[in-house]
Amino acid sequence: MSPRRSAEVTWPTDAELNILQVLWERGACTVREVHETLYGNDGAGYTTALKLMQIMHSKGLVDRDDSQRAHIYRSAISRQRTQKRFLADMVQRLFNGSPSQMVLHALGNHPGASREELKEIRALLNKIEIEGG
């Protein structure tokens, strides 16, 4: 049993994840756009967002186009892969390595799934069952 997070890989921190979410949602953004979206008036200051995004750039979490005065940032890691990593980590740390257990919890806590979503989930279940023999 070794549920510790590997230190070799760079995990986006909480603040970084928030920024990535904005970049994934809206595509390429300036610091200002991210700041407005995320922190608005009451939240952290502009330079905080700037600093975070500079650090993210140095870490390789985002790409940057600095040909204009206001640099344009875009995510350098895919949403999918990031979701997958966090999911796997959580399954490991909280659900004894069993994704199914996690799914059951997630569905159990979410009775409001739409008919369309349920259909999708069923379809995926069928696919898994057939492939798995």
Partner DNA sequence: CAGGATATACGAAGTTATTCGTTGCTATCG
Partner DNA sequence: CGATAGCAACGAATAACTTCGTATATCCTG
Contacts to its own copies by CB under 8 A: 1, 3-5, 14, 17-18, 21, 25, 37-38, 43, 79-80, 82-84, 86-88, 90-91, 93-96, 98-115, 117-118, 120-122, 124-125, 128-129, 131-133
Partner from DNA, its own copies, none binding residue 26, C-beta < 5-8 Å depending on class: none
Residues 45-64 that bind DNA (CB under 7 A): 45-48, 50-52, 54-55
Q: Choose the stretch contacting DNA; rule: CB under 7 A; options: 20-28, 40-48, 92-100, 109-117.
A: 40-48
Instruction: State the Cα torsion 44-64-66-49 to the nearest 10°.
Output: 0
**Residue 20 lies near DNA (rule: CB under 7 A):** no
The reply to whether 21 sits near DNA by the rule CB under 7 A is no
At closest approach, how far in Å is the CB of 119 from its own copies? 10
